[in-house]
Structure 1
Amino acid sequence: MAFAPRGPEASFFQVLDRHRASLLAALRKGGGEPSGGGTHLASRFEDSVGLHMVSHCTTRKIKSDSPKSVKNFALILKILSMIYKLVQSNTYATKRDIYYTDSQLFGNQTVVDNIINDISCMLKVPRRSLHILSTSKGLIAGNLRYVEEDGTKVNCACATAVAVPSNIQGIRNLITDAKFLLIVEKDATFQRLLDDNFCTKMSPCIMVTGKGVPDLNTRLLVKKLWDTFHIPIFTLVDADPHGIEIMCIYKYGSMAMSFEAHNLTVPAIRWLGLLPSDIRRLNIPKGTLIPLTKQDQMKLDSILKRPYITCQPFWRKEMEIMADSKMKAEIQALTFLSSDYLSRVYLPNKLKFGGWI
């Protein structure tokens, strides 16, 4: 646990007080249904925000006469009491810390993660307002300096990447001369670009990777960089449904975190590559392509039906090219053209001539 420089957030206590009456009423009522159960989110899409929760969402009910529900409700109350103590003492804990306070009771980390998300949604406050953090898996490199909440000065312009901070809200004094931010889907591609000195060759720029599906801290960092600097943000993902899904999470958000969309989404993000149309345009060898699986096709069909795709006709066209070809490609397929084709030719040309959508 780490001490924060600011005092307890009054908003948390105010929200908790509003819900206290309904929680107590539910406990006193033999067959009652507390209003603070986990939530099935009802979301809507707005181009300027992404997927965000609507006020008339439906909820998952917790019944006090059901043994399973009683345990779930007890776990919610236990974590609520821990959150209350964290906020009162102005300290922070990670989700892992919460789990290990009673790992036998919680069973597994996923139970804790889901309850914390439910509480955030129920109280309509960001998770950081609960004073709960998560360990970051993302990395950042390039032309960026900042100061962490404990006063540590961080310079990302080094040969090795810097871990994304666990408390994005606490970083300050961000400084950059970067002309753009590049989000890289996979760590392997990110490391290869570092090895090729991409940040130096294309200086000044910033690179970020969430190592696949981004965690909350990586998404918060991208949002903070956008809000602070308003520089162009591009994504480099595999030309497959999974890569497109990851790009959509950065740009439009996810259903699970739609209650925090305003703090997480960056609708200005652009798709730089790898585009399905690039596969034919660059004559990438057919032997490097991979057939779409049934799961891939289902994922692609699902994305095509999402409301935000109607606002992105060029994205739709690229996905239709993928669907028609029934093939996908990883970014690594570019190495068959030359070992440094990605950093030496592909990305510089894309950035120079506006090859994004």
Structure 2
Amino acid sequence: MSYAHRALEQGFSLTKRGIYYKDVALFKSQKIVDRFIDDLAATLQWDRADLNIRATSKGLICGSCLVIRLIGGASLRLNDHQGTLIPAGEDIGQFEFESRVAWVLIVEKEAIFQTLCQLNFSKYPGLPGPGLIVTGKGYPDVATRHLVKMLSDNLPQCIPIVALVDADPYGLDILSVYKYGSHGLRHENESLAACRVEWLGIKISELPEFRTDLNTLIPLTTHDERKARKMLCRPPENMPAEWRNALTRVLKMRRKAEIEIFSSVRTIGPENEHRHPPPLVHYLCKKISCSISRES
């Protein structure tokens, strides 16, 4: 509280990481600092930014159709082959779109995000228009969630905002954080939850079409099972029927699938394979095009 008071009084900002390093012996772990800051903001019924405390940004965004204008006057011009660090929400002044945005794809994992950037997927010719790719590198930080929320609020409803996550309880929980918000920041969920985010994949129910042997999938761990059962206890307004059915199926099969399964999947025959896109790209083009058709 004294750190926050001093920051407010003197008009400077702190990071949660910086507070932790002010007294490592006292705090013992970054998670303790994060929890105290969130509890303090919730008790005061303020956003964390109102305490002049911000999280260190970790999320990335890719796609040259977007320019982010910052409060201080600077601009972030994105590109199609490399991720740009997402700025804190309180630093963003406005968005400018240099060309039409046809879709927004949220990717759970940074490694998959980087692969898509290397392929210039945001302007891939097999898609019905350019798009934006976002990753929170697992569970998203506040800056990433705030950016997705701002895109959700400012883009026309006909533009799909979809998420690619692992077909396991933690993948669906990450999707839930984007769509419904988190328990730890429930006092900020109204300004952070983007309820129009939809689940693109991957889905256990889709795997037979890739001729995947379900017995080769990764076994469910005890943590996975515990997470799934806890999620199934959520109210229907935070647990769509499709998610509930998917979690039930995962528990019944005791198997899960990660996005990396596409690296061992063939969606086409071996002949002339070099002319076809990689399986992940083929899958995303098909699913994003279907999402655009539905929204239209």
Normalised to the residue count of structure 1, the TM-score between the two structures is 0.72
Partner of 2:271: none
Instruction: Determine which of 119, 123, 137 is the counterpart of 1:200.
Output: 123
Instruction: Determine which of 232, 254, 275 is the counterpart of 2:182.
Output: 254
What amino acid is aligned across from residue 325 of structure 1 in structure 2? M
Partner of 1:146: 68
Partner of 1:110: 31
Structure 1 pair 322–154 and aligned structure 2 pair: CA distance change class (3 A): same
Q: Please show how residues 61-100 of structure 1 align to structure 2 within 5 Å.
A: 80-100=1-21
Judge conservation of contact 2:60–2:86 (CA < 8 Å) in 1: yes
Q: How far did residue 309 of structure 1 move? A: 6.1
Judge conservation of contact 2:62–2:133 (CA < 8 Å) in 1: yes
Instruction: Determine which of 166, 172, 183 is the counterpart of 1:238.
Output: 166
Q: Matched residue of 1:284: which SS?
A: coil
Deviations 1:259-288 (A, max 9, x none): 111111112111000011011232223464
Within the alignment, does 1:183 sit opposite 2:106 as a pair?
Answer: yes
Partner of 2:136: 210
Judge conservation of contact 2:80–2:121 (CA < 8 Å) in 1: no
Count of residues paired in the alignment: 276
Q: Which runs of 5+ in 1 are unaligned?
A: 1-79
Judge conservation of contact 2:80–2:123 (CA < 8 Å) in 1: no
What amino acid is aligned across from residue 156 of structure 1 in structure 2? L
Q: How far did residue 310 of structure 1 move? A: 7.2
Partner of 1:225: 151
Judge conservation of contact 1:309–1:315 (CA < 8 Å) in 2: no
Partner of 2:286: 349
CA distance in 1, matches of 2:25, 2:217: 46
Larger radius of gyration: 1
Judge conservation of contact 2:4–2:51 (CA < 8 Å) in 1: yes
CA distance in 1, matches of 2:238, 2:4: 41
CA distance in 2, matches of 1:158, 1:179: 14
More deviation, 305-314/263-272: 305-314
Q: Please show how residues 116-131 of structure 1 align to structure 2 within 5 Å.
A: 116-131=37-52
Within the alignment, does 1:101 sit opposite 2:29 as a pair?
Answer: no
Q: Matched residue of 1:91: which SS?
A: coil
% identity of equivalent residues: 36
Partner of 1:37: none
Instruction: Determine which of 88, 91, 94 is the counterpart of 1:173.
Output: 94
CA distance in 1, matches of 2:82, 2:23: 37
CA distance in 1, matches of 2:241, 2:11: 48
Structure 1 pair 107–304 and aligned structure 2 pair: CA distance change class (3 A): closer
CA distance in 2, matches of 1:199, 1:273: 18
Q: Please show how residues 294-313 of structure 1 align to structure 2 within 5 Å.
A: 294-308=222-236, 312-313=240-241
CA distance in 1, matches of 2:85, 2:101: 19
Judge conservation of contact 1:284–1:336 (CA < 8 Å) in 2: no
Deviations 1:58-107 (A, max 9, x none): xxxxxxxxxxxxxxxxxxxxxx2322232233221111222333334434
CA distance in 1, matches of 2:177, 2:238: 16
Structure 1 pair 259–310 and aligned structure 2 pair: CA distance change class (3 A): closer
Normalised to the residue count of structure 2, the TM-score between the two structures is 0.86
What amino acid is aligned across from residue 279 of structure 2 in structure 1? Y
Instruction: Determine which of 202, 208, 217 is the counterpart of 1:280.
Output: 208
* CA RMSD across the alignment: 2.2
CA distance in 2, matches of 1:161, 1:152: 18
